[in-house]
Structure 1
Amino acid sequence: MSEHIVTCPTCQDRYPWAEGELLRWSPRDGRFTPVTLVDTANAVKLADLRAGCYVRCPNPSNDTPPHYIPVVYGNCPPPVIIGMVGRPRVGKTHLLAMMVHELLAGRAGGVGLTARPGDTVQHADFKRNKIAPLLRGERLAGTVENLVSYADFLLVDSPSGQRPVIFFDIAGEDFRRAGEGGPSSRFLLNTNALLFVEDVDHVVGRGASTNEWVDDALGRLGVVPQLRQVPAAIALTKADQLRYVHPVDRWLRAPDASGPLRAEDFTAESRDVYAVLDKYGAHFVRDLFDRFARCTLHFVSATGVAVDEESGTYPRGTRPMRVLRPLFALLAMTGVLGGPEALRVGL
């Protein structure tokens, strides 16, 4: 039997998968500690016990601090690695937090998707520090620079089967250093789906003619074979600011998943976003759309309302709008969602 080769999502090293010593996170000790699974003939019980276990990555290149991988990662099909790319303070983390929350809350049932955490330790941290504060109406702080690990790791089930879906969200300033080959943007070399994020403030107020952060990320992506074939989605965030402007109003009123996936809906929304970008002279985003063979455009709002700058909060709470649509598009274009409609998304 041939060796099962995996690529570590953190250090990007490739190596033969070997479980070795099983570990489990100990909140009391604040570290991973060895664990011995009980001997059981119950396959379901064994799977449940293994689901919370980790192994230490061998990190063959030895260029990344010690890190750990969930055991489930080595027993799954190849992951979908979604890299979020955008300028600082554009709302990437807010969008990702609400996207993950809505997906885990069962809001994607209409298109046949369910999900659960694949890395329970990392997800608990992401939920505590990102999702929970946002649900309480608090504005999130900017992403810490020089992070090398993924933001969250989910196991997504669809009628086509189960796939790991791993999200990377790094600080916008780290993209400016992408040309230096730093570890924080290394995930770009292994990404197989890209989510570009731009906000209405830059489109309407300044025309978004350039974006140095995205340009630098694309520069590092230049070594990726057939980059044009990588599925991409572009999310125009804070679209609630245009909630009374046609055709934005039409899309913000539409639910994320009211029924089965329809490729024509993605085409229609992409057309309308493109028209809005053209109206305001946002040539950079339009040109970005044309760089990829399969790409979709979306109106989204992670919070549904603007933040109160004085208090740094959302006094009336948050109400996400259309946050799952870019994810649906990427999962269709990467084969997580199957069927003839999925094959047409982004074309």
Structure 2
Amino acid sequence: MTAPLVTCPTCQDQFPWVEDQLLRWSPRDGRFLPVEPVDTTNPIKLADQRASCYIRCPNPSQDTPQHYTPVVLGQSPAPVVIGLVGRPRAGKSHLLAAMVQGLVTGRANALGVTARPGDGVQHAAFHRGHIEPMLRGESLDGTGDGVVGYADFLLVRSPTGERPVIFFDTGGENFRAMAHNSLRSRFLLNTNALMFVEDADQVMARTAGGNEWISDALARLGVVPHLRSIPSTVVLMKSDQLRYTHPVDRWLRLPDDRGPLVANDFLTESRDVYAVLDQYGANFARDLYDRFDRCTMHFVSATGVAAEDERYPRGVHPMRVLRPLVALLAMTGVLTGPEAAQVGR
């Protein structure tokens, strides 16, 4: 039997999936060590043993440091690979932390969506480095240089099954290195879902008519022949700054985890975001809606309030962080049905 070809989400190389040596992370040793599965005829017990195992990526191009891939990737349908794109300090890291926290704690249950870690080692690191500090009211640092791997890897279950969902977040400045084919933005070439993040502060200051970081990301994506068909969302972050402005106020008061899914809700919100961006002259962010065959637009605040001296002394109160993610899950086929099929159209 021919081994299936898998695309590594870290190095973007394709390789035949072969499990010749299973590995497991050892916190005591600080590295991956070989593990021998215990013989068992119980498929549930075997699945439990393998759930925490990895293989070493053969890294055919040898242009990325040694890395490891969860065994679950070789046993699952093709993953949804979501890339977050935006200017520095737009709030991408806070958004991703709030989205992942909401998803794994069951806030999307009403929509029939649950999630669990697919890469336990990376999820634990993401939780320690992003989710826990945010929940303590700390302002997160922007994504630093040198990050070439994914931020988190979840297994998202819907009524039709379970599918890997992999999140990439990279520092805004890394999109400026297109002339050098930056490894830190190479993940874009393997994304099949895009989340463009714009800063409401920049929009209100009327400095968001263009966005060189998004422009450079789109330039890198220019080699992707099916770019227009990639499902996309436009997220107007820090929308709490517009919370008393119509129609933003209406949307921020609505829960984003209610069910069932209604496609017209996404269309109506997209219309209102489009109008606000047009009102403030944020032409580039507005025009993203027309660049893609399926696209939605959302009012979002990852923290609910502005930071005070790099902290949130009264805690964070995420607003509508799940909505753009739910839209992408519908547009990538994780969520199915007549309503999901109309989201973004």
TM-score if structure 2 supplies the norm length?
0.99
Q: Deviations over 1:224-259 (max 9, x none)?
A: 012111100011000011111111011001111211
Q: Secondary structure at the match of 2:205?
A: helix
2:149 counterpart of 1:149: yes
2:305 counterpart of 1:299: no
Q: Secondary structure at the match of 1:69?
A: strand
How many Å separate the matches in 1 of 2:244 and 2:66?
50
2:3·2:18 contact (CA, 8 Å) conserved in 1? Answer: no
The letter for the 1-side match of 2:334 is: V
2:241 counterpart of 1:241: yes
Give 1:134's aligned residue: 134
Give 1:37's aligned residue: 37
The letter for the 2-side match of 1:273 is: V
1:194·1:230 contact (CA, 8 Å) conserved in 2? Answer: yes
The letter for the 1-side match of 2:232 is: A
1:116·1:154 contact (CA, 8 Å) conserved in 2? Answer: yes
Supply the RMSD in Å over aligned alpha carbons.
0.8
Give 1:177's aligned residue: 177
2:84·2:195 contact (CA, 8 Å) conserved in 1? Answer: yes
Give 2:222's aligned residue: 222
Q: How many residues align?
A: 345
How many Å separate the matches in 2 of 1:129 and 1:226?
34
How many Å separate the matches in 1 of 2:239 and 2:223?
33
Q: Which runs of 5+ in 2 are unaligned?
A: none
How many Å separate the matches in 2 of 1:283 and 1:73?
39
What is the deviation of 1:37? 1.4
Give 1:316's aligned residue: 314
Give 1:165's aligned residue: 165
Give 1:21's aligned residue: 21
1:263·1:341 contact (CA, 8 Å) conserved in 2? Answer: yes
Q: What are the within-5 Å matches in structure 2 for residues 1-347 of structure 1? A: 1-309=1-309, 312-347=310-345
1:192·1:230 contact (CA, 8 Å) conserved in 2? Answer: yes
What is the deviation of 1:206? 2.3
What is the deviation of 1:178? 2.5
Q: Deviations over 1:139-195 (max 9, x none)?
A: 001111131100000000001211100000001000001332121111111110000
How many Å separate the matches in 1 of 2:24 and 2:178?
33
Q: Which runs of 5+ in 1 are unaligned?
A: none
Q: Secondary structure at the match of 1:206?
A: coil
What is the deviation of 1:110? 1.3
**Percent identical:** 68
Pair 179,338 (structure 1): closer, same or farther in 2 beyond 3 Å = farther
What is the deviation of 1:2? 3.8
Q: Deviations over 1:82-105 (max 9, x none)?
A: 000001111000000000000001
Q: Secondary structure at the match of 1:85?
A: strand
1:146·1:171 contact (CA, 8 Å) conserved in 2? Answer: no
How many Å separate the matches in 2 of 1:225 and 1:162?
28
How many Å separate the matches in 1 of 2:79 and 2:97?
20
What is the deviation of 1:207? 4.0
1:252·1:300 contact (CA, 8 Å) conserved in 2? Answer: yes
What is the deviation of 1:36? 1.1
